[in-house]
Every structure is written in structure tokens, then in C-alpha cells.
């Protein structure tokens, strides 16, 4: 666990092992916000979203003062009873920290289809409240993990009008990653002053260039959520420094998103797929994701096998218009492998294999001359991915 996260004024955190997880690891966390804080959020696009997601969407309209997070149980696919337990967990902690249940946003991550037990909340509410501290964000970054091998956290600052604005974020995610909103879970706090509407606009833009551009396995979780909370403690208002705040927030979210990919279940490669030249950015993104989700491409990446035919085939089956074989150029890092739809005259298997053996790989796919371009970040597909997910509930 790292201790290099910067504290954000007014934010207090705690995390304990409550027994939800079987291995006695940290699994129940609380983040509290001071009065006059504002919170924005984005959630999973999965139609069958979990009970805590439904409840958090409702509570977001209130004066949000706390985030309650458990790992080890997703409370998804649990029907009306699951929704009741999500609300009761908020009620339990509302009593412990003198808030209304509607002021608490609940978040859960873990196994789908199991009802969230209430005993860990009832038995640990007072303890979790007593341990609240401005220094515990690192513990929360550990407490939200499931199959992750490492915690994911990052801080940024910028100066404006002689004052310092701080942003700190944590995230979890390793498998079931193709967010379509954010990530498995991510929580970002800042001491800037802002309205919820302003924060929502900033968060949406940041998410679209970071968490919405990563994929490990193409599966969109039932529980994905990302929040941005502003405590209004820095003396700086977002309206006066919107451009620089957005730039720094974008940097922070992309840092967290890349850490999720690097910690992808069983991953041995960090892969950027850049697609360009089609009529629209949406078409470029569709091609990039088609390549990123191809099991044949991903297994070739794991084997360091420069089987470029798999990449070309994936491009050709993307659901887009305007693909012409003569316009296709494909590169592995700086190495041209396909030029004008044919193997590059200078390409060799040895050179291709050397590029595929690298831990960081960029696959660049040019499909025309239009000034459109989209990148997604993904992983290879290893033996360990199957093992991790086959044994997940054991």
C-alpha cells in the first residue's frame, strides 16, 4: 500500500475487514464529505444494473455527504430484497454519522447474484465511523479491490491565483472491464468549489477520454460507477479555472484507467490500439474495439506472435462503412507490417516478433486520409485470465 496520495481538505476515510470477503481483507469503506460539498457521478450502461447503482442514482439528487463502499459482494441480480438491503446499509451508517440515508451513496463490487449481508454493516458502523481520518484514502484504495493485484490511486495539483487545488482519485478494476461509463469503481475528490452541474460536465468529458476507452475482456459490469466530489475548501471556484481543471482531471482519470489495464486479469502486455482515417470518430472507435476484443488478436499478443492476419481480419469485420483494403496501413509500434493493404516490402517475421515481445505495444491502423482518430487501451489474453475467472468463486 502506497502512502503518496495527497489529502483533500475536508475528506475523511476509513476501511476495515468486516467479514464480507472470505480472506479477512479490507472490504468495507467509508468516505465522508464536509458541508457544502457537491458530487457528480456516472454509472454503468448495463441494463441489469445492481441495486446500489439504482439507489445511488436516486440519492445523487440529495445533499451527498458520504460514500459507502463494500467489496466481495456486488448485490446485483438480487431483486427487491437487494434494493432493500442497499437502503438499509445506508440507514445503518446514517445513524452512525448523523446523516440521512439519502445523503449516502452506496457502492458494491464482487460476486454477482448473492444478497448483500447486513450483519457486517450493523456490527461495524460505529467502528468505521470512529476510524475516519484524512489520512486513510490509501486504505480505501485497498478496501475496494477484488481480483486486483495492486491498488490504483493518483493525485494531481495545480496553482491558480496563488492557491493550490488538489485532486486525488482511487479506482479498482481488473476483469469484467469494458466500462461504457467509467470503470468498475472509481472515486475522485477535489477541494475546488463547484456546482453539481459543473462537476457533471467535467466528469463526463474526463470519463469519455479515459475509462470509456479501456477494455480488458469486453464485459460491462453491473456495478460500474465513478464519482467526482468537490469540497469547496481551496478558495478556488471551478468557474474561474475550468480549462486547467479539466486538463488536470483528464490526466488523473487517464492515469487511473491505464493502471486498470496494466492490472488486467492475467495481463502481460499493455496495448494501445489507434484507429484513424474513417469518416467519423465513432467508426474509428468501433474498429479499435473490434481489434481489442478479438480473442485471436489477444492470444497472439500473449504469445508474442506477429500473426498480423488476425489484426487485418478483425478490422475487416468491424461494423463500419468505408473500409477499402488498398487504404489500410498497419503498424506494430513504428514497424510497418501492412502498407496499402499488402505486407510491407521490408517486413520480416523476426522484426514483427521483436515488437510483439515488448511489454508495451501500439497497434496503429490507418484506414484513410480523414482527420479522425480514436485510441483504446487493452491487454493480451493469457492462461491466467481463464484460471482467475474459472476459480473466482472458489
- Identify any residues that bridge with 159 across adjacent strands, giving them in sequence order: 164
Q: How far is CA 336 from the centre of its chain?
A: 32
In the block, which residue shows the cell 493480451? 380
Q: Which three cell numbers, joined as nine digits, stand for 363?
A: 497497434
Compute the CA torsion angle 231, 236, 238, 240 (nearest 10 deg).
170
The Cβ-side half-sphere exposure at 169, using a 13 Å CA radius, reads 32
Which residues are CB-neighbours of 390 under 8 A, at least 6 positions away?
A: none
How is residue 155 written as a grid cell? 493525485
List the one residue out of 39, 82, 78, 86 whose CA is nearest residue 61: 39
Quickly list DSSP for 122-173: HHHHHHHHHT-BTT-HHHHHHHT-SS-SS-EEEEEEEEETTEEEEEEEEEE-
Q: At what angle do helices 79-97 and 119-130 cross, to 10 degrees?
A: 30
- Give the pairing of strands 28-32 and 66-73: antiparallel
Q: Rounded CA gap, 383 and 154, in Å?
A: 30
Burial class (CB in 10 A: 0-12, 13-18, 19+), 216: buried
Q: Are 206 and 179 in contact (CB under 8 A)?
A: no
User: Annotated catalytic sites, by residue?
Assistant: 183
Amino acid at each position: 500500500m502506497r502512502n503518496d496520495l495527497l489529502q483533500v481538505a475536508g475528506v475523511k476515510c476509513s476501511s476495515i475487514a468486516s467479514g464480507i470477503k472470505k480472506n479477512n481483507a479490507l472490504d468495507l469503506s467509508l468516505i465522508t464529505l464536509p458541508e457544502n460539498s457537491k458530487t457528480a457521478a456516472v454509472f454503468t450502461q448495463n441494463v441489469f444494473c445492481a441495486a446500489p447503482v439504482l439507489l445511488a442514482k436516486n440519492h445523487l439528487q440529495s445533499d451527498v455527504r458520504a460514500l459507502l463502499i463494500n467489496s466481495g459482494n456486488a448485490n446485483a441480480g438480487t431483486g427487491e430484497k437487494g434494493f432493500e438491503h442497499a437502503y438499509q446499509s445506508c440507514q445503518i451508517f446514517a445513524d452512525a454519522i448523523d446523516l440521512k440515508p439519502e445523503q449516502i451513496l452506496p457502492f458494491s463490487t464482487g460476486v454477482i447474484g448473492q444478497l448483500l449481508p447486513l450483519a457486517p454493516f450493523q456490527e461495524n458502523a460505529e467502528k468505521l465511523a470512529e476510524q475516519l481520518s484524512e489520512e486513510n484514502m490509501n486504505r480505501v484504495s485497498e478496501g475496494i479491490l477484488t481480483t486486483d493485484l495492486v491498488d490504483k490511486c493518483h493525485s494531481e495539483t495545480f496553482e491558480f491565483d496563488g492557491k493550490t487545488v488538489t485532486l486525488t482519485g482511487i479506482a479498482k478494476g481488473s476483469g469484467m472491464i469494458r466500462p461504457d461509463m467509467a470503470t468498475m469503481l472509481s472515486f475522485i475528490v477535489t477541494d475546488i468549489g463547484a456546482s453539481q452541474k459543473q462537476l457533471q460536465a467535467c466528469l463526463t468529458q474526463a470519463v469519455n477520454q479515459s475509462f470509456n476507452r479501456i477494455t480488458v475482456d469486453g464485459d460491462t459490469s453491473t456495478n460500474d460507477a465513478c464519482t467526482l466530489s468537490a469540497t469547496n475548501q481551496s478558495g478556488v471556484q471551478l468557474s474561474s479555472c475550468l480549462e486547467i481543471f479539466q486538463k488536470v482531471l483528464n490526466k488523473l482519470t487517464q492515469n487511473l484507467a491505464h493502471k486498470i489495464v496494466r492490472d488486467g486479469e492475467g495481463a502481460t502486455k499493455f496495448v494501445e490500439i489507434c484507429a484513424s482515417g474513417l469518416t467519423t470518430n465513432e467508426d474509428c472507435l468501433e474498429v479499435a474495439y473490434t481489434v481489442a476484443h478479438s480473442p485471436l488478436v489477444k492470444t497472439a499478443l500473449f504469445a508474442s506472435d506477429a500473426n498480423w492476419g488476425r489484426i487485418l481480419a478483425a478490422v475487416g469485420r468491424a461494423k463500419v462503412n468505408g473500409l477499402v483494403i488498398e487504404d489500410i496501413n498497419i503498424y506494430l509500434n513504428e514497424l510497418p507490417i501492412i502498407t496499402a493493404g499488402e505486407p510491407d516490402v521490408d517486413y520480416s517475421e523476426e522484426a514483427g516478433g521483436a515488437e510483439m515481445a515488448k511489454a508495451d505495444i501500439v497497434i496503429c491502423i490507418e484506414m484513410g486520409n480523414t482527420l479522425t482518430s480514436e485510441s483504446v487501451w487493452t491487454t493480451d489474453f493469457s492462461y491466467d485470465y481463464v484460471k482467475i475467472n474459472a476459480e473466482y468463486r472458489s
